Amino acid sequence: MWLSLTRRAALVCVAHLVFSGQLSATEVAQDTAANTGTNHRVYIEDMQFSPAKLQVRFGDTITWINNDFIPHTATAVDKSWNSKNLAKGEEFSLIVSDNTVLDYYCFYHPNMIAKIEILN
Amino acid sequence: MKSCMKNRIVSVLMLTTLAVASCAAVATTPSELNDLEIAHTAYVADNIDIQYAHLALALSTNPDIHEFARTMIRDHEAVNEQALALLEKLGAEAQDNFLSQKLIADSKSIIDNLTQLRGAEFDKAYADNELGYHKAVNELVADAFIPNIENPEVKALFEQGLKIFKQHEEHAAMMVKKLNE
C-alpha cells in the first residue's frame, strides 16, 4: 500500500514537472534509466496515437510527443492522469505504476483512443 | 506599314488569349476551382465553423457542446494559420469565388435560424448542423478539391486537414447520438 501510494505520487509529480517545464523529458528518461525502466515513445500524428496499443512493464516511462499541428492531449479515461494541452512538438511523460489507468484518449478528439498493456 | 500591321495582329492575339484565359478562370463547379480559389473556399469554410462555435459558446449551457465548440475554434484556427503561412511562403493570395460566396450566404441563414433557438433545441440544431456541415465539406474536400489541387504542398495540407475534419465529423456524430438518447 505504501509502495503503491509512493509510485502514484511519483507519477503525478514527474508528470507535473515535465508538463510545467521544470523537468525535461531527458531528465525523466535518465531518472528512469537509473530505475532500470524502459522508455517508450507514443507519437501523436495524423489524428492517431501511434502505437495505439503499447506494451510496458511497471516502472517504464511513456513519453507522448505531438507531431500534429493541432493541439492534442493524452488523458486517462477517468482523467486520473492528463497531459493537458500539447501543442506541436510538446511532450508529456509518465512512469507506469500498478495504479496507472491504462485506457486513454485525446480529450479534444474523443474518437482518438489508445491503451497501455502491462506485460507480466 | 508591314510592322504596324504585325503589331496589331499580335495585340489582337494577346487580347484574345487573355479573354479566353479569363473565361476559363471563372469556375462554376467545385472541381473547376484553381488552387487559390480552393484555398479561399477552405479558409471561408473554416471561419464559418468558428462563427458557429462562438454562437454555441454564447447560447448553449451544455458542457459537451462547449467542449466541442472550443475544439472547433482551436482546430480550425490552427488549420487557417497553416494555410496562411503556406500562401505567404508561396507568395500567393487566395481568390474569392462562387463557392466561397455561396458558403457565406448559406451560413447567414443558418446563423439566423440558430440564434432563434435556446436550450436543448439549440444544442440539437447546432449538433445536427455540425454533423451535416462537416459531412458536406469533407465530401467536397475528398472528391472535388484534393484530386484537382496542383501544388503538392497545398494538396498535402488539404490531406492533413481532411483527417482532422473527419475526426470532427465523428465527434459531431457522437454528440448528435448523445443528444438524442
For chain A, what is the largest distance between any 2 Cα atoms, rounded to a whole number of angstroms? 42
Nearest Cα to A119, choosing from A105, A102, A94, A106?
Answer: A102
Grid cell digits, residue A6: 509512493
pLDDT value at residue B147: 97
- Is A89 part of the contact surface with chain B (CB cutoff 8 Å)? no
Q: Is B19 domain-assigned?
A: no
Q: Is B22 domain-assigned?
A: no
Determine the Cα–Cα distance for residues A49 and A71; give it in Å rounded to an integer.
Answer: 13
Nearest CA in chain B to A112: B167
Q: Is B118 domain-assigned?
A: yes
Q: Is B16 domain-assigned?
A: no
Q: What is the pLDDT of residues A68-78, one digit of tens each?
A: 999 999 999 99
Residues A41, A65 contacting (CB under 8 angstroms): yes
Q: Is B23 domain-assigned?
A: no
Nearest Cα to B140, choosing from B169, B109, B108, B174?
Answer: B169
Nearest CA in chain B to A113: B167
CA distances from B141 to B41, B129, B137 (A): 10, 18, 6
Q: CATH number of the domain that B74 lies in? A: 1.20.1260.10
Q: Is the ipTM value over 0.90, yes or no? A: no
Find chain A residues with C-beta within 8 A of B75's C-beta.
70, 108
Angle between helices B152-180 and B35-59 (to 10 degrees): 30
Q: Which carries the bigger pLDDT value, residue A14 or residue B84? A: B84
pLDDT tens, per residue, chain B with 181 residues: 455 444 444 443 433 333 334 445 688 899 999 999 999 999 999 999 999 999 999 999 999 999 999 999 999 999 999 999 999 999 999 999 999 999 999 999 999 999 999 999 999 999 999 999 999 999 999 999 999 999 999 999 999 999 999 999 999 999 999 999 9
Our measurement of the distance from residue B131's CA atom to the centroid of its chain's CA atoms, rounded to an integer in Å, reads 15
Find chain B residues with C-beta within 8 A of A110's C-beta.
171, 174
Q: Do A47 and B163 touch (CB under 8 A)?
A: yes
Q: Is B17 domain-assigned?
A: no
Q: Is B99 domain-assigned?
A: yes
Q: Do A47 and B75 touch (CB under 8 A)?
A: no
| Domains of chain A, earliest start first | 2-118 (2.60.40.420)
Give yes or no for residue A31 having a pLDDT over 90: no
Q: Is B3 domain-assigned?
A: no
Domain count, chain B: 1
pLDDT value at residue A36: 67
Determine the Cα–Cα distance for residues B103 and B43; give it in Å rounded to an integer.
Answer: 11
Domain range holding B165? 29-180
- Cα-Cα-Cα-Cα dihedral sign, residues B27, B143, B131, B94: negative
pLDDT value at residue A20: 42
Nearest Cα to B114, choosing from B105, B104, B124, B100?
Answer: B124
